[in-house]
Each structure stands twice: as structure tokens, then as C-alpha cells.
Amino acid sequence: MTPAIAAQSLTRTFDGGFTAVDHIDLAVEPGQFFGFLGPNGAGKSTTIKMLTGLLAPTAGTVSILGEDLVANPVEVKRNIGVVPEGMALFGRLTASEYLNFVGRMYGLDKPTTQQRAEELLEFMGLANEQKKLITDFSHGMGKKLALAAAVIHNPRVLFLDEPFEGVDAIAAGTLKAMLQGMIARGVTIFLTSHVLEIVERLCTHIAIIHRGHIVANGSLDELRAGVQARLAPDASGQSHSKLTLEEIFLATVGSETGITNPEQELSWLK
């Protein structure tokens, strides 16, 4: 089966010689809810930018639904929806104006765009904020609007960079249900989030990037098995069969991030 998202030897080196993403390979199957994790500065957002055409790779290829991103950017972009790192909203528009603009840019006709914009605003709980400029939105409202803009054209692949950041619990629950509904219809979702509980609950596959390299990739069980193989049973002789994603993540990258036990280091906080 053609992967929904495929990246081969994807690399990005910046002007100063810093390589943020270093020859990574990814293959996300259609209908997968794919979690992409990593510590701060690991290369998550750079990877998403390259996968969505916002940043040119220094080397490597990207194809979405079998279409090469460089050779056929229009076909790729009309099939994907993105909630980028900075949300990329136009502050001086209202939410309705923004959604209508985005819909038209994705080739929807006017009546369809208007209908979907209204439905999305209602769904996201933004229908009562019609006259407010986006610049006056709270962070959470901005996130909800960015997500609405990402799905207005009914994309087949959705890239979400920290979509739940700042979103209240009620809205987050609704959004999660919506995303799971999209997965059930065969949409592929590529998600980054620092909230590991959400990733653990939603994602069927997970990759962990660290210092520009993929250091773990597979289903949660596969990741768990990989960590178990590395860790010896603890002092009580228990195995690590119930490792949470947080424990897996920390076991994979935590020891290299430089963060040590805070109680040991910052004794003056006691």
C-alpha cells in the first residue's frame, strides 16, 4: 500500500551549519493516527514544515499519498490540512472571514465554504465570536480556529503541531472525538504534542525524534518492548510490562536531555 506520508533521508541544515533534522525516514500508513514526539528543539516542527512544504529540505524526498511534494505541490497541498507551529492566522480578520478565505484558497466554492465555515464555528464554540478580530482571541480560541481552518477542505492527511495546547478540557474532548471520527473515515493524522497522555490515548503509531534522528518508531507495544529489552527488571524483580508512554519517552531520550533530578540539584527550593 502506498504510504499516506513518506519521507526518505529527509534532512534540513540551517545556514549556521546546524542540522535540525538528519536523514530521517518515515512511512505513515493511510488511516494511521501517528504521534511524533521529541524533546524541545529535537526537530519536530522542522520535520512537519518540510512534510507540508513550508520549509525546503536540504536533502531527501517527501511524498504525500504517493505524490511528490516538490514535483506536484498543488496536488499535495490540496489534500493536506495543517495546524502549523505558530497557527498562521491573520490577526486582522474575524474567524468567519478567515475560514471563508481559507476555504476559497483550497478551491471550495463560495456556498460550500460559507456553510462549512458556519458549521465549524459552531462546532468549535466560536459562533458567538463573529465580530471579534482574531488578534483579540485567546490562545485556545486561536488553536480551535486553526484546527477549523485545517479541516475545512476535508483533507485526507492532517498535520497537527501541538493542537491541544491552551484548549480547554471540554473543547479538547470534542476535538479528540472529531479527530477519531476522521481516522475512522480513513484520514491520516500526524500529530505532535507534549501531552503524552493524549498521544498515548489517540495514536496507533509513534515515532520519537531526538537531536534530528528518529530514535524509536512503531506501535506503543513495539516501543514498550524495545524499552523492556534495554532495561533490566527492577529491584523487586518486576518486569516493565506496564510502562506508560511517558516512561518510554523518558527511557528513550530523558537521560540525554541534561535534566536531572530537580530535588537533588535545586536544594534551595526545599
Partner 1 sequence: MAEVEHNIHRWVGDQKPWTQEQTRAQFRAIANLRWYIFRNGLRRKGGMSELIGTILLIPLFLAIIIGPALGVGFLAGMFVHKGHFQYIVLLLWAIFLLAQLTSIQLGQAGTTFDPTQLIRFPLNFRGYAAIRVFFGLLSPANAVSTLMSLTMAIGITVAEPRIWFYAFLTMGVFAIANIFFTRMLFIWVDRWLSTRRAREVFTALIFTFGMAAQYLNFTFNLNRHHGHLTPVNAARLAAATRFYHHSEPYLALLPPGLTSNSILAAHSGQPATFAAEVLGVLAFAVLFFVIFATRLYKEFRGENLSDVANAVAKTPARRHVTTAAIVAPVSSASPLHFSAPSTVAAVLGKEFLTLRRNTGIFYALVAPLIMVVFFANLKAGHLGTDLLFASAVAYTLMGVAPLCYNSLGLEAAGIQFFFLAPVRMRDVFIAKNLMNIGLAVVEIVAVFCAITVIGRPPSALVAVSVVLWAAFTMFISMAVGNHRSVTAPKKVDIAKMGMAKNQTGQLSAFISIGVMLVAAGVGAGIYAAAHFWDKPWIMPLAALVLAIIGFFAYDRSLRTLDQLLADHRDTLSETLCKA
Rule CB under 8 A: which residues touch partner 1?
14-18, 20, 41, 49-50, 52-56, 70, 73-79, 82, 84, 88, 90-94, 97, 100-102, 104-107, 109-110, 116, 119-120, 122-123, 133, 135, 151, 154-156, 174, 177-178, 181-182, 185, 257-258, 260, 265-268
* Distance, CA of 210 to CA of 165 (rounded, Å): 21
* Distance, CA of 200 to CA of 135 (rounded, Å): 33
Least distance (Å) between residue 197 CB and partner 1: 23
* Distance, CA of 87 to CA of 102 (rounded, Å): 13
Q: Which is nearer to partner 1, 1 or 268 (CB)?
A: 268
Q: Which is nearer to partner 1, 124 or 203 (CB)?
A: 124
Least distance (Å) between residue 42 CB and partner 1: 11
Least distance (Å) between residue 244 CB and partner 1: 26
Q: Which is nearer to partner 1, 47 or 217 (CB)?
A: 47
Q: Which is nearer to partner 1, 118 or 200 (CB)?
A: 118
Q: Which is nearer to partner 1, 180 or 244 (CB)?
A: 180
Least distance (Å) between residue 181 CB and partner 1: 5
Q: Quick one: how far is CA 27 from the chain centroid?
A: 15
Q: Which is nearer to partner 1, 4 or 206 (CB)?
A: 4
* Distance, CA of 51 to CA of 57 (rounded, Å): 9
Least Cα distance to 203 among 190, 216, 212 occurs for 190
Least distance (Å) between residue 107 CB and partner 1: 4
Least distance (Å) between residue 81 CB and partner 1: 10
* Distance, CA of 67 to CA of 227 (rounded, Å): 35
CB atoms within 10 A of CB 200: 16
**Residue-wise over 153-173: b if at least 16 C-beta within 10 A, else e?**
bebbbbbbbbbbbebeeebbe
* Distance, CA of 136 to CA of 138 (rounded, Å): 7
**Residue-wise over 21-42: b if at least 16 C-beta within 10 A, else e?**
bbebebebeebbbbbbbbbeeb
